[in-house]
Structure 1
Amino acid sequence: MSKALSKAKGFKKSKSGTYLSIATTAFGAIGVAKQIKKARAENDTLRLVDAVVTAAGVVTGLALLYRELKRLGDDDVLLG
């Protein structure tokens, strides 16, 4: 089991794992956009603030993942 756990940790730090993390994080952004739209439609300031803070976390997560891709030597991904 230790070998499988080690392999899984290695995947997380690989290019493929990073791409998967970017896709998962970007998919989360869709939920945040829906949350913002709903909060604005209902004039719910507290939910809107929550959604904006969540969106900031998503953006930060994507930036960290992009930085990880650059570290792995894949400079032509996403922003060029």
Structure 2
Amino acid sequence: MTTPDERTRNLLQAGAFLKELRKDKTVPEEIRQEAHRLLRHYPTVYEVVMLAELEKHTTGMFYLTPDIEKGWFSSYRFGAHTG
């Protein structure tokens, strides 16, 4: 069973992965363009944090850890998707 923390981490890491694809010149141009197109509409870290804050105020539950930026994106050269 996927936990909310795992789901959030994977959502944000998928954005970082799209960012990696978009910037990697060894990837074919059409793949980089598609990654760019998808990334334009993908939620940023800020937007996900805002949604978590809204959830906290709605349900009283908050699923994000304080070290969201540090550990979750260490293996991505270009870091998290921030817009």
TM range (shorter): 0.3 to 0.5
TM-score normalised according to structure 1 size: 0.45
| Richer in helix (by share) | 1
Higher relative contact order (CA 8 A, sep 6+): 2
